A = this chain, B = another copy of it.
Amino acid sequence: MKMEFSAAQVAAMLGGKVEGDPEIKVWNVARIEEGAPGMLSFLANPKYIQYLYTTESSVVLVNENFVPTAPVKATMIRVPDAYEAFAQLLAVYQEYTNNKVGISSLAFISDDAEYGENCYVGEFAFIGNRVKLGKNVKIYPQVYVGDDAVIGDNTVVYPGVKLYAMTHIGQNCIVHSGAVLGADGFGFAPQADGTYKKIPQIGNVFVGDNVEIGANTTIDRSTMDSTKIHNGVKLDNLIQIAHNVELGENTAIAAQSGVAGSTHLGKNCIVAGQVGISGHLHIADRTTFGAQTGVMGGVNEPGKMLMGSPAYDYKTYLKDTVRQRNIPKLEQRIAELEKKLEILLSK
């Protein structure tokens, strides 16, 4: 991404003031303690001030009232809030790297598919029948958008995502590579002879607005109706969301967790990594599950924090894990008691 900017250009973008060489060029960012020529860094945390005097970065953003106590080799740009300014730059930078527009002649787009202005459809992408893409939708190479799928404005779908037929995704969403939305739910009726008969899965996946879905995460279509991912949900990588599940607004789930069929999570829940949640449960709003928790029962009261397998109160769980390691001491105390009692009884 050899996109170079001079210190003066960066300062203009941020409304900052250059102190040093306004013509010096930067083309990427680095932590101040790991700087290199051509890098832009920032200094916000006083703990890192020492690095300002030794950094190899070409440009450093500093708070406007910062007073150095030694010579600074780097060019400084003074801004009201160095951290905020840096975050703003990162966002601009990321936006820039995602500014692809245009329909590749190497994509396949069905005749009856529709798309809004400023869309990108990359090479070897497949857009099925009656698909509707909003404005500014970015479909990267090798994505599959099945028949009758709908994707809202400004949503980005990274390379290789597979959206089965009838999947609905809202606005301002991000779906990362390898995610699969709409595969059949895992539903089979056991037969007398030990085989299984497939239960047709004819619902779909419905994703709201402002949702992010991580790489290789899978969300199954419902048996009927929709598996529902509400607005603002954030899903990390390699997560399993089974059929008929519903995830409430702004619920965030970390990598490798799974939610079994027909379970409903409330709003603003936080699920750490490698958590498993059984099927057909109702989990109240603002519930938090610690890492590797096994959730086998519903949670009625909002705002609870649980851990362990089966899950229970987080603090008690942590105490219990310590207690379980004290069992040898308990055994000793019991043996001691038995011995003393033996003596007493034998008197």
A-side residues, CB < 8 A to B, are 1-2, 29-31, 34, 87, 90-91, 93-94, 97, 104, 106, 108, 122-124, 126, 130, 140-142, 144, 146-148, 158-160, 162, 164-166, 174, 176-178, 180, 183-184, 186, 188, 194-196, 198-202, 210, 212, 214-216, 218, 220, 224-225, 232, 234, 236-238, 240, 242, 249-250, 252, 254-256, 258, 260, 267-268, 273-274, 276, 278, 291-292, 294, 296, 309-310, 312, 316, 320-321, 323-328, 330-331, 333-334, 337-338, 340-341, 344-345
Alpha-carbon distance A2/B104, docked complex (angstroms)? 28
CB pair B237–A256 under 8 Å, yes or no, is no
The smallest C-beta distance from A17 to any residue of chain B, in angstroms, reads 24
CB pair A224–B29 under 8 Å, yes or no, is yes
Alpha-carbon distance A34/B154, docked complex (angstroms)? 31
CB pair B312–A292 under 8 Å, yes or no, is no
Nearest to A318 among chain B residues (CB) is B310
Task: Return 19 A-B CB contacts under 8 Å, by A number.
Answer: A30-B225, A87-B199, A124-B126, A142-B162, A146-B159, A162-B215, A174-B184, A176-B183, A184-B212, A186-B255, A194-B250, A196-B250, A216-B238, A218-B238, A238-B238, A312-B325, A326-B331, A330-B334, A337-B337
CB pair A180–B183 under 8 Å, yes or no, is no
